[in-house]
Structure 1
Amino acid sequence: MLKKTMLAFFCVATLQLTAQHTDTEKMRRFVNGLMQRMTTEEKIGQLNLLIPGGAAVTGSVVSTDVETKIKNGNVGGLFGIIGAERIRRAQEIAVSQSRLKIPMIFGMDVIHGHKTTFPIPLGLSCSWDTALIERTAQIAAREATADGINWAFSPMVDIARDPRWGRIAEGSGEDAFLGSQVAKAMVRGYQGRSNDLKDISRLMACVKHFALYGAAEGGRDYNTADMSRVRMYNEYLPPYKAAVEAGVGSVMSSFNVIDGIPATGNQWLLTDLLRKQWGFGGFVVSDYTSLNEMIPHGMGDLQTVSALALKAGLDMDMVGEGMLTTLKKSLQEGKVTQKQIDDACRRILEAKYKLGLFDDPYRGISASRASEILTPANRAAAREAAARSFVLLKNDGQLLPLKKSGRIAVIGPLADSRRNMLGTWSVSGDWQQSVTVIEGIRNAVGSGATVSYAKGANIADDPFFVRRSNMLGMEIDTTEKRTPADMLKEAVDMAKESDVVIAVVGEAADMSGESSSRASIDIPESQRNLLQALARTGKKIVLVLFNGRPLTLNWENQHLPAILDVWFGGTEAGNAIADVVFGDHNPSGKLTASFPYSVGQVPVYYNHLNTGRPFAPGDWSKFKSDYLDIPNEPLYPFGYGLSYTTFAYSAITGNKTGISGNGKLELTVRVTNNGNYDGEETVQLYTRQMEGSIARPVKELKAFRKIFLKKGESRDVVFSLSANDLKFYNKDLAWVFEPGKYKAFIGTSSAQTAEFDFNAGK
């Protein structure tokens, strides 16, 4: 029977490989034939990606005279157009009025949903649920393709350890292993597990920003990132590589320099690493005008940097039109070759072929598919995803969950702010379709409780800060006619008459995201004043925190009994918040980025290297690596998150004392739900190499399991470790395993674990 099964599997695999080879050969012949008919100008035109005026703009430049350029065969794709009919009309110009009728590709920043908006990516990552994350990408792909889009500028997989950087909101936090799992899940969600992009419900994914963008110095967007190759390979590159291994169709270059050369013109990055070492076969697009921005980097004039980018391995120029306007001249002057232009053009045409655009330029657009957008099922999925992304940071005295009775005061500028529910990078989401916090609470309690609302404060009062934060729309409402003192008095009076206060405060949606770096990551002063006044009433306060980054919450942690981090929950944020606040959903989120005590600690992350003078808590001797005024450790560490129930962990047991050869070490821990609620727990496995050829992190995440336990239930969680799990890049950038002494850690967070010592041999 086993032989028959293996034979059947072999036959299926052989047929699949044969079919893939046949499809590849058909694509090659088709593209060759098309390129033989193309002029050099038309080939260069395929490398040009434009954004029409009036579209969803994500940069300061907008393309001009787009229609004429399409007719002349000078546009390979458009992005930022919202609406199936607008995309159809643009495509009609390309396929009916250009000489060779080559269809365009249509891209969009589909970051955390399309019309149905899910939690921001940092929030989604806190679910530690890759199946859920994959499902959100599937829904986003289905909605976006129904709207005519076939290319998503997502996932963003940049490792980020500096919460001052606003774009930390778009990624999965500080850890390369978890980030890699999320990257694969997102690619599978967009493109499908079979990577059959001709399926009209699939999007071509674009992993970004390649590479190291999340390590911007000072947390200031677009700034320099500089690090050793060892750090690159071990800590920052793995999520990009995971996306490539998952079959991602395209890659976007980053704004920063790498080894002194901007990523968009960096041959080591785009060719030697991406194509030769990793075997990437798709195409590379620049970020928004990042080709032109090599000029202020000091790399030369527009012709020089355009030639540099093409030779480095860039295939498509987003918005800047440097390739369109200079490559023919560079070809005539011998600064680029015809083969380099042909190779880039071929990769763009192959992407369009894989998407089925040559068979159907209007791929996925039909009147019937409009019904797939913002469906009740999609909204239900968004509600579930939001609830599972929330992280319970504090819950003294089991204040949460609240009862759906009594007098509940809902206070704060974000409690009734529909516009701020979706969060940053929700360019096609409709904020008017979102559910506010006050609506969600009233929906939940019905007539069982008296719910009152007061704004209490503005999100911020500083006019300069408000103006900068509102550049994409009025997220910080400036129309309030009452003074801050009047709003504060109303809120305090209301709190005094209540049984419990739900304070809804934090950041506006675009106080995080691109070009939204913050030197101070406190809750704005106007809202801190509100919280302090509410605390003085002596009432029980639940802090519901909106944020796109880790914030400094020392005062809040010391003075408020319950803190629920809800990030930005998306379309169904208000209902999901009510689900958790009233106990219809038990929170299970775990942090994927550490919250610092102070911005002066930044960067603070769990998997740091040790020093030669390590500091241990309680050791107050001089000449150790510590601060005089705050702890070394974060306020809330990576992997941390509470539940309404409690989980007890046994000691770790192993099936042997070590790993040898190709063997595996099985580590078991028994987890018991000894609280009063059913709940989910994310069990986390970390390891540490005690001696190595280079300094190694104090802990590294290697695996995790999300389990559901009824109250009183216990379960054994088993992890298998092999030598392959312990590999890393050494000083020569070789992927190696080193025999020696190791520790394993299993627990509820990176800071709360049991230990197990083991040896790993050859």
Structure 2
Amino acid sequence: MTRAAAGEPGRGTARAGDDVESLVARTLSELSLREKVGQLNQRLLGWEAVERRGGRWRLTDAFLREAERWSGIGALYGVLRADAWSGRSWDDGIGPDDRREVVELVQDAVRGASPRSIGALIVEEAPHGHQALGGTVLPTNLALAATWDPDLVREAGEAVAAELWSSGVDIALVSGLDVLRDPRWGRGEECFGESAALAAEMARAVVEGMQGRDRGRLGAGGVGVVMKHFAAQGEAAGGRNGQSSIIGARDLEEIHLRPARTAVSAGAVGLMAAYNDIDGVPCCANPWLLTTWLREQEGFDGIVMADGLAVDRLAALAGTLRGAGRLALLSGVDMSLWDEGFTTLVETAVEDAAVANAVDEACRRVLRLKARLGLLRAPDPAAAPGAGAEPFSRTGADLDTARRNTERISARAARESLVALTGDLCPLAGIGGPVAVLGPYAEDMECFLGDYVSPLPPERRTSVRAELGRMRPVIDGPAGFEENPGAFREASAVVLVLGGTSQRSYADEFDANGAARATVATSGEGVDLADVSLPEDQVDLVWRVRAATAAPLAVVIVSGRPLVLTGIEEPADSILWAGYAGPHGPAAVAEALTGAYRPAGRLPVTLLADPGAIPLHHDDRHPGEDVYRDTPRPVLHAFADHRLGAGDPAVDNLTVEWPERNRATIRVHLDGGRPEGGEAVVAVFARRTGGSVVPRLSELLAFGRLKVPGEGLACEWSVSATDLFGSDDDGTACELWTDPRHRCVVTSRR
């Protein structure tokens, strides 16, 4: 059971002790200006730092030159990354058995180049599992959000961190701060949905899972987390990636800064400044965002990393690369990513005292993080317990065990992420005879994996068609309708697998920051769309199949963005939303269709009836109904929508009590449904009235995913008066509800 209310617990930022601060201060005093600037740079694409020659991994000349240039290296990005952009595959990439060897090779060279033996931060992408060969792949964030289960996300974060730790990795780059406000944006799959409350709790779970509560597992089986992207990237105008977010201060604070505040309170050691600008000011050049709000107001003590090449993009604003580096540093960026602008800080600092001081402060923060991770060597280990540890003496690190654990969690997450939208929850249960499985993604594996994913080994390939075939007879023949129309006369049911994919091909072209240029993908970075309707040929296929058979027709939607599904609502007997459920997605879908598992997930987004109504959200201040003359009912499936099956646990009571003057207790009781009970997601919504601000139509106040026994279950949340009546403290009432049947109004604070 998880709180989504405001009034979050005290920040667990675990300030460094005097021992670490002493080590950092001494190290900083001994570094030259060039070495300090080197600690702020992360220029290399890590997969270009090593190569295999004669059956052995060796360092490249480019890496050795970089280490010599700065007498060490601040951070190295993506040494183990494997995907279409890096070009690394199972043929030439770094396999699981080679990871530690390669990272140790790199670290030995970095320490050897540094007069103070400072190691590099080994930084890897882990938006939904480690993006390395053999790295366990999880469902993407949008699918994880559909579980409404932060405890599961916390457990997944811990498991992925164990994989990373066992591989010698120090820092994970993890999406989790973006709130999806426009489905046209291609990176919607990286978001935990459209609700700031849901996204904030999931962000907390990621940080606590990967770092431990109060950073307790840093340097001891956990890795540091740089949460991205900061801030308001999900609000970019028209859903255009990295462009202007035109948003007022109130919505910025309440929607887009809330996940960041929660990540900071959970102890995240880093945030990544986003590409977009907010009302014209780029995030990487925004001192109010990166310094005033983040450090002075929220007490953040970690590092701010720029997104890839974001510093150099400031040259259009600052006039030169040198000006771009200065602007980003003085605004609050501590570490660049692949940029040239930060390399110019040596020359700039000689001439500009403000830059010299800012270099010292940024370097201090980087060194503090390295000390926590065991990358600084203390002259006297007794003076800094733990800070002088060798980075690779990782006691108990067992990659194989970690991967098995993460696979188990990935399979569970795939099942929990499924959302039944219409019709029977398990449409094939009780139906005998063969099933026809068709559609563009019926025999596709990659469509379930999302963007930022490494290739799976060939033996892991499967599909919905293959997984259903393990459970019941599936009609032989091609998956295409035109090639085998006669099969429909034999089919007892038809399953259509539709939607989209974020698959990247090794033949694709990429921008300098890795975004796809020409690609078959329909979602992901660099794939913004003006029209998010289900493709016309897929809608046409549903209608043609419907015309060819009277058998039950089940549609599975695999997608990384909220698609408009209006065209298939009528012909389909049931619709199952699967997001990008990960490598175990096909098996989870087969289980749900046949009744081996009853889906209990909820939509983390609003599905609209018409693409022209974008954007609309559950927490808007004004309704969208009866506004458009051509689409008077613009919402097809509301945020948190799901199909409740007969006998599934359901809410039967909602009450609010005031055990304290300024704190209320919300109590919800669920009946158990069938004798064996089942899973249920409980979501409590609120709408304030009174005050000086137009209230939102609904706000997610509290939620949890529960296993409900047959006799039923009671759950409760403690919330503050501010949660109910607003921070301006002049609200007069608050209506709460879990569904249309269970509502109550709170008007006093006894």
Q: Given the two structures, how large is their TM-score scaled by the length of structure 2?
A: 0.85
1:341 and 2:350 are equivalent in the alignment: no
* Alpha-carbon distance, 1:654 to partner: 4.2
Which of residues 91, 99, 103 is equivalent to 2:107?
Answer: 91
1:207 and 2:227 are equivalent in the alignment: yes
1:527 and 2:538 are equivalent in the alignment: yes
2:414, 2:585 within 8 Å by CA — same for their partners in 1? yes
2:76, 2:120 within 8 Å by CA — same for their partners in 1? yes
Partner of 2:745: 757
1:256, 1:262 within 8 Å by CA — same for their partners in 2? yes
* Alpha-carbon distance, 1:758 to partner: 2.2
Mapped to 2, the partners of 1:145 and 1:545 lie a distance apart of 35
Mapped to 2, the partners of 1:433 and 1:303 lie a distance apart of 48
1:210-229 → structure 2 map (5 Å cutoff): 210-229=230-249
Mapped to 2, the partners of 1:340 and 1:677 lie a distance apart of 62
1:572 and 2:590 are equivalent in the alignment: no
Mapped to 1, the partners of 2:545 and 2:434 lie a distance apart of 15
1:515 and 2:546 are equivalent in the alignment: no
1:237 and 2:257 are equivalent in the alignment: yes
* Alpha-carbon distance, 1:328 to partner: 1.9
SS for the counterpart of 1:680 is strand
1:685, 1:745 within 8 Å by CA — same for their partners in 2? yes
1:418, 1:431 within 8 Å by CA — same for their partners in 2? no
Q: 1:269 to 1:666 in 2, by over 3 A?
A: closer
Q: 1:548 to 1:629 in 2, by over 3 A?
A: same
Q: 1:26 to 1:175 in 2, by over 3 A?
A: same
Mapped to 1, the partners of 2:195 and 2:416 lie a distance apart of 20
Which of residues 588, 595, 600 is equivalent to 1:588?
Answer: 600
Task: Please give the per-residue CA displacement for 1:590-638, whole angstroms capped at 9, x wherever unaligned.
Answer: 111111111111111101113xxx67x6xxxxxxx61112134521111
1:332 and 2:338 are equivalent in the alignment: no
Runs of 5+ unmatched residues, structure 1: 1-16, 58-62, 457-486, 618-624, 729-734
1:661, 1:723 within 8 Å by CA — same for their partners in 2? no
SS for the counterpart of 1:50 is coil
SS for the counterpart of 2:616 is coil
1:489 and 2:486 are equivalent in the alignment: no
SS for the counterpart of 1:585 is coil
1:540, 1:561 within 8 Å by CA — same for their partners in 2? yes
1:504 and 2:516 are equivalent in the alignment: no
Q: 1:186 to 1:56 in 2, by over 3 A?
A: farther
Partner of 2:203: 183
1:452 and 2:471 are equivalent in the alignment: no
Mapped to 1, the partners of 2:40 and 2:725 lie a distance apart of 39
Partner amino acid, structure 2, of 1:37: E
* Alpha-carbon distance, 1:379 to partner: 2.1
Partner amino acid, structure 1, of 2:412: E
Partner of 2:513: none
Mapped to 1, the partners of 2:362 and 2:236 lie a distance apart of 29
Which of residues 312, 321, 328 is equivalent to 1:302?
Answer: 321
Task: Please give the per-residue CA displacement for 1:452-487, whole angstroms capped at 9, x wherever unaligned.
Answer: 35554xxxxxxxxxxxxxxxxxxxxxxxxxxxxxx4
* Alpha-carbon distance, 1:132 to partner: 0.5
Partner of 1:24: 17
1:184, 1:242 within 8 Å by CA — same for their partners in 2? yes
Partner of 1:550: 562
Partner of 1:740: 732
Q: 1:595 to 1:392 in 2, by over 3 A?
A: same
1:363 and 2:364 are equivalent in the alignment: no
1:173, 1:179 within 8 Å by CA — same for their partners in 2? yes
1:197, 1:354 within 8 Å by CA — same for their partners in 2? no
Mapped to 2, the partners of 1:753 and 1:455 lie a distance apart of 47
Which of residues 25, 32, 38 is equivalent to 2:31?
Answer: 38
Which of residues 93, 104, 121 is equivalent to 1:105?
Answer: 121
Partner of 1:5: none
Mapped to 1, the partners of 2:33 and 2:353 lie a distance apart of 15
Q: 1:544 to 1:667 in 2, by over 3 A?
A: same
2:373, 2:391 within 8 Å by CA — same for their partners in 1? no
Q: 1:421 to 1:366 in 2, by over 3 A?
A: farther
Q: 1:679 to 1:239 in 2, by over 3 A?
A: same
Q: 1:364 to 1:55 in 2, by over 3 A?
A: farther
2:610, 2:634 within 8 Å by CA — same for their partners in 1? no
Mapped to 2, the partners of 1:739 and 1:660 lie a distance apart of 20
Partner of 1:394: 422
* Alpha-carbon distance, 1:527 to partner: 2.8
Q: 1:67 to 1:430 in 2, by over 3 A?
A: farther
Deviates more, 1:195-204 or 1:129-138: 195-204
1:66 and 2:63 are equivalent in the alignment: yes
Partner amino acid, structure 1, of 2:745: D
Over the residues paired in the alignment, what is the CA RMSD in angstroms? Answer: 2.7
Task: Please give the per-residue CA displacement for 1:435-467, whole angstroms capped at 9, x wherever unaligned.
Answer: 422332233x1xxx32135554xxxxxxxxxxx
Q: 1:702 to 1:64 in 2, by over 3 A?
A: farther
Q: 1:112 to 1:556 in 2, by over 3 A?
A: same
SS for the counterpart of 1:542 is strand
Partner amino acid, structure 1, of 2:537: S
Partner of 1:292: 312
Partner amino acid, structure 2, of 1:568: Y
Task: Please give the per-residue CA displacement for 1:509-532, whole angstroms capped at 9, x wherever unaligned.
Answer: 242221111112122333333222
1:437 and 2:467 are equivalent in the alignment: no
* Alpha-carbon distance, 1:653 to partner: 4.0
1:401-480 → structure 2 map (5 Å cutoff): 401-403=428-430, 405-427=432-454, 433-443=460-470, 445=471, 449-452=472-475, 456=479
**Relative contact order (C-alpha < 8 Å, sep 6+): which is higher?**
2
1:103, 1:361 within 8 Å by CA — same for their partners in 2? no
* Alpha-carbon distance, 1:286 to partner: 0.1
Mapped to 2, the partners of 1:563 and 1:525 lie a distance apart of 17
Partner of 1:60: none
Q: 1:671 to 1:761 in 2, by over 3 A?
A: closer
1:684-699 → structure 2 map (5 Å cutoff): 684-699=683-698
Q: 1:454 to 1:311 in 2, by over 3 A?
A: farther
Q: 1:231 to 1:754 in 2, by over 3 A?
A: same
Q: 1:181 to 1:401 in 2, by over 3 A?
A: farther
SS for the counterpart of 1:189 is helix
Task: Please give the per-residue CA displacement for 1:3-49, whole angstroms capped at 9, x wherever unaligned.
Answer: xxxxxxxxxxxxxx9x977x611111111111222110000000001
1:165, 1:220 within 8 Å by CA — same for their partners in 2? yes
Q: 1:97 to 1:651 in 2, by over 3 A?
A: closer
Mapped to 1, the partners of 2:14 and 2:129 lie a distance apart of 31
Mapped to 2, the partners of 1:166 and 1:649 lie a distance apart of 36
SS for the counterpart of 2:264 is helix
Mapped to 1, the partners of 2:502 and 2:737 lie a distance apart of 37
Q: 1:664 to 1:76 in 2, by over 3 A?
A: closer
Q: How many residue pairs are counted as aligned between the two chains?
A: 676
Partner of 1:268: 288
Task: Please give the per-residue CA displacement for 1:69-109, whole angstroms capped at 9, x wherever unaligned.
Answer: 11332631111111333222221210123333210001111
Mapped to 1, the partners of 2:370 and 2:659 lie a distance apart of 48
Partner amino acid, structure 2, of 1:379: E
* Alpha-carbon distance, 1:347 to partner: 0.6
Q: Given the two structures, how large is their TM-score scaled by the length of structure 1?
A: 0.83
1:598-613 → structure 2 map (5 Å cutoff): 598-610=610-622
Task: Please give the per-residue CA displacement for 1:657-702, whole angstroms capped at 9, x wherever unaligned.
Answer: xx69724444444433546974222222111111112212121111
Partner amino acid, structure 2, of 1:743: E
SS for the counterpart of 1:230 is helix
Q: 1:273 to 1:454 in 2, by over 3 A?
A: farther
Mapped to 1, the partners of 2:307 and 2:661 lie a distance apart of 43
Runs of 5+ unmatched residues, structure 2: 1-11, 51-59, 81-98, 377-387, 504-521
Partner of 1:124: 144
Task: Please give the per-residue CA displacement for 1:331-365, whole angstroms capped at 9, x wherever unaligned.
Answer: 23327432211100111111111111233454367
